[in-house]
Structure 1
C-alpha cells in the first residue's frame, strides 16, 4: 500500500489520488436504518452520505473536514499509518495550519458501511488548489501555461513561465454560483429546486445546458474578466482548465482564446499533482 495519499475535499465532490470521486454531502442521523446506505460511523454518530445539502461554508478550514475525509479513506480501503496532502484555495492558504493541527499525529477509529477502520496521519501537508494541478501535466517546463481550476466556491488561477510560477489569484466564483442561478430560474417558473437538485439533474442529463447558454456565458465571462485583472495578457498562455467547472465553461474560454485545453481527468488533477509533489518530497 502506498504510504502517501492525497485528497481534494471539494464543495461538491471528494477526490483521491486512487481515482475515487465521492459526493461531498451528508447528514447526521442516529435513528435511521443503515441498510443499503452509504454511511460513516465516527465518535458515536452515524453520517449518511449522498443526502442533505452541500456545505456552503466558503472557508474550507471551518468545515467538518474529518467527516468526508474519513469516509473517502474508508471507501478506498486505506488503513494504518499514512502521509497525506490536502488542498486549499490560494486565498485561504494562510489557514493551512488549522487543518494540519486537526489531523497530523492523530489516530481515528471509524466504520464506513459497517467495516471497521483505523488510520493514523503521520505527516499532513497542504497545497494550493490549481498549483498542485500544474504538476499533473506531463509537459510543463517550457512555454507559458495558465492553470484555471474552477471549483465549487472558487476559481484558482496560476501562471507559469518555463516551469516557474509567475502569478496566482483566487476568485470567489465557482459552479455553485452557476447552479444557484439555474435553480432560481427554474423556481421563477414554479418549480422548487435547490443547488443539489441542479447538480443531480445535470449529472444525469435531465437539464439541457443549451437552454442556459446565457447563464453559462455570464458566469464564464465573469471568471475570465476577474482573471484578466491579475493576468492581463491571458491570450499569451496555454490555458489548462480543470476542476468541476471545466466542462461547463470550456466553450466560453475557447470562444475567446485559441489555446484552451480541458485536462484529462480534470476532477483529479489536484490529487494527481500533489501526489507527484509528495513523492518528490519523500512522503511515499
Structure 2
C-alpha cells in the first residue's frame, strides 16, 4: 500500500484522512482513550504530552513512534510504501539522510494490544510546498491560469514559501512562525484580558470553533484572533519583498491557512488548497505514483 504521511510540529496527517496531535507521552492521562503504541519495549500514548519542535522534524525523539502510529492508524498492511516530506529549504541537504533512516526498514510494534510487523519497503522524501500544490492542482487550474505559483505553506512551527513553475521550485524561504505561534498570540491576548485564568494553547482551536466562555457568558474573542495578524505581517513582508505576489498566483496551504486566509485575502489575491490539513500528505501519495 502507498501512504503519504506528513509529520508536522503540531499535527500528524496522512493521505487516508487520519490526523492526530504530534506529541507522545509515556504515561496515560486519566480518562484518556488515546491509541497506545509499544515500540522497543516502551509504551507510547499517541496525541498526549508536550509538543516537540525541532528545525529538522526527523530529529524529534518521537519521530519514529509518530510515523509508526500513523501507519498503524491508516492501514492494516504489513508492507507499505511511504512518502514523507521536508521543507524545500531542507530538502536537498537532508532528503538522503531521511530516506536512509526509513527505507527498507522493518519494525515490530504492538498497537492497541495487537502485535504488528511494519515493513517500509520503500520511503521517498518529497518537498512539502510542491506536494501541497500538486494535491489540489485540478481545483487551482482556473485560478492559476498558467502562471507561476507562490505556495505559502503555514505549518505548525514554520511557514515555508516556494515559487513553483510546473513541479519545479525556483526559490524557497522558511520563516520560523506557524500555527503554534498563531495560537500562542491568541492565548496571550485572552490572558491579558481575562487575567485570572490560564489558557492552554491546545484549546485555542476549540475556542475558535465553538466559542469562548467566561463566568457563564460567551465572549467575543475577535480581538484576540486579530492578534495573529502580527504573524501575517512577518509572512507578508517576506512575500512583498522577495516574491512576485502581484503578478503570479498565490496559494495557501497548511493548517494555519484557515486562520490567516481572511487577512491574506485582504492584502493579496490568493486561494487556499483543498483539505489544507491533508494537502501535503495527499500530495506525497500522488507523487509516489
Same fold (TM over 0.5): yes
Q: Contact 1:179 / 1:198 at 8 angstroms: preserved in 2?
A: yes
For 1:10 and 1:210, the matched residues in 2 are separated by: 27
CA 152–35 in structure 1, closer or farther in 2 if over 3 Å, else same = closer
The alpha-carbon deviation at position 174 of structure 1 amounts to 0.6
Scaled by the length of structure 2, what TM-score is found?
Answer: 0.85
CA 145–135 in structure 1, closer or farther in 2 if over 3 Å, else same = same
Partner of 2:179: 175
For 2:166 and 2:72, the matched residues in 1 are separated by: 39
CA 86–150 in structure 1, closer or farther in 2 if over 3 Å, else same = same
Q: For structure 1, which runs of at least 5 residues remain unmatched after alignment?
A: 280-284
The alpha-carbon deviation at position 104 of structure 1 amounts to 1.4
Partner of 2:247: 236
Scaled by the length of structure 1, what TM-score is found?
Answer: 0.87
Q: RMSD value over aligned CA atoms?
A: 2.4
For 2:97 and 2:85, the matched residues in 1 are separated by: 12
SS of 2:278's equivalent? helix
CA 201–98 in structure 1, closer or farther in 2 if over 3 Å, else same = farther
The alpha-carbon deviation at position 201 of structure 1 amounts to 3.6
SS of 1:152's equivalent? coil
The alpha-carbon deviation at position 244 of structure 1 amounts to 0.4
The alignment status of 1:206 with 2:216, answered yes or no, reads: no
The alignment status of 1:58 with 2:68, answered yes or no, reads: no
Partner of 2:278: 268
Partner of 2:265: 254
Q: Contact 1:146 / 1:157 at 8 angstroms: preserved in 2?
A: yes
- Matches of residues 20-35 of structure 1 in structure 2 within 5 Å? 20-29=18-27
Aligned residues: 274
Aligned with 2:288 (options 265, 269, 278): 278
For 2:202 and 2:221, the matched residues in 1 are separated by: 16
Partner of 1:197: 203
The alpha-carbon deviation at position 253 of structure 1 amounts to 1.0
Partner of 1:115: 114
SS of 1:83's equivalent? strand
CA 78–34 in structure 1, closer or farther in 2 if over 3 Å, else same = farther
Q: Contact 2:126 / 2:284 at 8 angstroms: preserved in 1?
A: yes
The alpha-carbon deviation at position 196 of structure 1 amounts to 2.4
The alpha-carbon deviation at position 101 of structure 1 amounts to 2.5
SS of 1:6's equivalent? strand
CA 185–216 in structure 1, closer or farther in 2 if over 3 Å, else same = closer
- CA-to-aligned-CA distance 1:91-137 (integer Å, 9 cap, x gap): 22222333222221211111222222211112211112112112111
The alpha-carbon deviation at position 246 of structure 1 amounts to 0.6
The alpha-carbon deviation at position 203 of structure 1 amounts to 5.1
